[in-house]
Amino acid sequence: MRISTITNWAYGITVALTLLSGGAFIIAAQSADRERDAAEAAWKLDDVVERLERAAEQTTEDARLYVMKGEERFLRAFQAADAEERTREQTVKQLKAVKLTAQEIAALREIETDAELLDALEEQAVKDFEGGEADKARAALFSPEHEDAQTGLLASVAHFADLVATRTQDELREAKAKADLWGAIAKSLLVLTALVFLSVLYFVLKRRVARPLLQMSGIVQRLAKQDYDVEVLTDARRDEIGDMNEAIQVFRDNGLERERLDAERRKDQHIKDLILQLMHRLQACHEEAELGPVVSLYASQIFPRLGGHLLVMNDGRNALTTTSTWGAPVRSTQEFPSVQCWGLRRGRPHLSGDRHDDVACQHLDESGHEESLCIPLAAHGDTVGMLYFEGERDGAELIEARVYIELIAENLALAIANLQLRDRLTNLAVKDPLTGLLNRRSLDENLNRLRREDTDLPAALMMIDIDHFKHFNDEFGHDAGDFVMRQVAAIMTDVVGRAGIVHRFGGEEFAVIMRSVDKDATSNLAEAIRRAIEKAPINYLGRPLGTVTVSIGLASTADGEPPATLMLRADAALLRAKSRGRNATVADWADGSGSGRLLAG
């Protein structure tokens, strides 16, 4: 029941009890008034009876004294009987005016009869005394007849007094009982009103209001501090406190939902921040090899419960190779043909697992039950790789992260495609398309770098020219000449290794820059290149092309010559080697010890 209903009922009951107690007090007061009226009536009746008795005795006494002593004063007293008679008559009239019972009225009439008889006897005796018959008068006043009349009057008066006393006592007791009863009822109703009021105060204010409010106060304070772990009172009553409790529960539920949404928003923002950082790092990568560690680092932070691989397509666009791994993926192999992945076949993300009624990719281990997601990495109309993610069996984490994974995949595909495109453009800019060696522009940049470094470490330059190269073009065709060019470039690259950098200078000429080598090491490497080319059998389309030889000119900074003169001196040495019959190595050392000297050939 609602508190307002309880208070309204309590108010109504309190008002009703108050009215009833007021009415009882009024009735009790009226009963007390009746009690006082009965007491007053009894007192009046007692007074009348007493006057009747006193009047009868006084009249008899005056008459007897007069006839005995004959004094005038007693006569006057007796003569005053007329007034006394009127007094008795008035008294009787007063008594008749009072509500008397039939028995009391009969007793009153008997009093009147006895009084008239006694008055008649006494008046006759007085007349006889005044007529000189004193003895007769005395005999009449002291006769048995007079005694009987007087005694009868007094007995009638006493009988009337007893009747009146009995009735008035009964009326007094009844009035007193009613007054006491209604007074008790009024007091009881007043006490009951007080108890109802106090009970309502205790039940409503303390039990129904104060105690729940005190408990809710603590709950509200904790909710105000955003402590949503507090348990709200489970109270099923339907009243104002119940409404407040439901409102607090709604507030707590809303707070929990808001906290959950805030947590999701913070988590989403954190993931987006990490993805943004990942994108920045991807954009800052200069080489394709740098992408793998970056993706692995951030993927493990963004998706801590997921494992996966970053796979890159090979140059033939028919197989994928894993470049980085995070988490602990177990289902997918790290290298597989592209046709084994349904995601790559369809060009769309593909889910594989027990929860999905779809064909599983062939590169996945069939004994595993983890959910797998394959997302192709495509950019500029070309597929450059694939992102593979693996989650728990229910797949909830994987499905939840799919949007973020696809966003990462889109940016990662662009990064890979851009780096590959940049590598191709760089190769076109710095490498010779025929031999794959660095071109003349790269040679100039490396020589300029030597000039800018201004270091004490010795450097050397080797200029190489294929002997009689025009002969191969004229006799076997330009394709054969190109083949010879590529074979010579491959031999030089293999012999030089990490000792220097091989460039194509132009036409059939090459240049090799060497760092931190002395003159003897330079000469030995030049001879190794010359002999390796001379001894290498070169066949084109199954047809021997004959022996290929090269002429080599050397220059070095080991004797203090500046790097700026390397090209000029090496080229001069090459000209001398060619003028001396070709297939020779000529060094132009700065100290003159080997200047123009034929080292071999």
Question: Are residue 315 and residue 414 in the same domain, yes or no?
Answer: yes
Across residues 537-548, what is the average pLDDT?
Answer: 88
Number of structural domains (the chain) is: 3
- State how far the Cα of 595 lies from the Cα of 62, in Å rounded to an integer: 200
**Domain assignment present for 222:** no
Strand, coil or helix: 229: coil
Question: Are residue 15 and residue 160 in the same domain, yes or no?
Answer: yes
Across residues 76-91, what is the average pLDDT?
Answer: 62
pLDDT band at 597 (very low <50, low <70, confident <90, very high): very low
3-state secondary structure 156-221: HHHHHHHHHHHHHHHHHHHHHHHHHHHHHHHHHHHHHHHHHHHHHHHHHHHHHHHHHHHHHHHHHH
Question: Are residue 419 and residue 446 in the same domain, yes or no?
Answer: no
Q: What is the CATH number of the domain that holds 168?
A: 1.20.120.1730
Across residues 479-501, what is the average pLDDT?
Answer: 93
Question: Are residue 413 and residue 344 in the same domain, yes or no?
Answer: yes
The residue among 174, 196, 218 that closes a domain is: 196
- Residue 594: is its pLDDT beyond 70? no
- Residue 1: is its pLDDT beyond 60? no
Mean pLDDT (the chain, rounded): 81
**Domain assignment present for 19:** yes
Encoded tokens for 517? 């080598």
- State how far the Cα of 271 lies from the Cα of 291, in Å rounded to an integer: 19
564-576 b/e (C-beta count within 10 Å ≥ 16 → b): eebbebbbbbbeb
Give residue-wise pLDDT tens across range 157-167: 788 778 777 87
Other C-beta atoms closer than 10 Å to the C-beta of 46 total 14
Query: Which carries the bigger pLDDT value, residue 309 or residue 13?
Result: 309
Query: Which carries the bigger pLDDT value, residue 275 or residue 14?
Result: 275
- State how far the Cα of 369 lies from the Cα of 364, in Å rounded to an integer: 10
pLDDT band at 595 (very low <50, low <70, confident <90, very high): very low
**Domain assignment present for 256:** no
- What's the pTM? 0.53
DSSP for residue 439:
-
Q: What is the DSSP string of 446-478?
A: HHHHHHHH--SS-EEEEEEEETTHHHHHHHH-H
The residue among 180, 196, 212 that closes a domain is: 196
The residue among 143, 172, 196 that closes a domain is: 196
Give the rounded distance of the alpha carbon of 134 from its chain centre: 129
Bridge partners of 312, per DSSP, are 321, 385
Q: What is the CATH number of the domain that holds 496?
A: 3.30.70.270
Domain range for residue 514?
440-600
Question: Are residue 455 and residue 327 in the same domain, yes or no?
Answer: no
Strands 459-466 and 319-326, sheet pairing = unpaired
pLDDT band at 220 (very low <50, low <70, confident <90, very high): confident
- State how far the Cα of 228 lies from the Cα of 68, in Å rounded to an integer: 120
Q: What is the CATH number of the domain that holds 367?
A: 3.30.450.40
**Domain assignment present for 270:** no
Question: Are residue 424 and residue 445 in the same domain, yes or no?
Answer: no
Question: Are residue 420 and residue 463 in the same domain, yes or no?
Answer: no
Question: Are residue 510 and residue 366 in the same domain, yes or no?
Answer: no
Q: Which residues contact 365 (CB under 8 A, 6 or more apart)?
A: 330, 331, 332, 333
Top-ranked range on mean pLDDT: pick from 41-45, 78-82, 256-260: 256-260
Question: Are residue 40 and residue 151 in the same domain, yes or no?
Answer: yes
**Domain assignment present for 507:** yes
Question: Are residue 412 and residue 461 in the same domain, yes or no?
Answer: no
Question: Are residue 371 and residue 509 in the same domain, yes or no?
Answer: no
**Domain assignment present for 324:** yes
In the prediction, which pLDDT does 385 show?
93
**Domain assignment present for 202:** no
- State how far the Cα of 279 lies from the Cα of 295, in Å rounded to an integer: 10
In the prediction, which pLDDT does 596 show?
47
Question: Are residue 472 and residue 520 in the same domain, yes or no?
Answer: yes
**Domain assignment present for 71:** yes
Q: Are 247 and 278 in contact, with CB atoms under 8 Å apart?
A: no
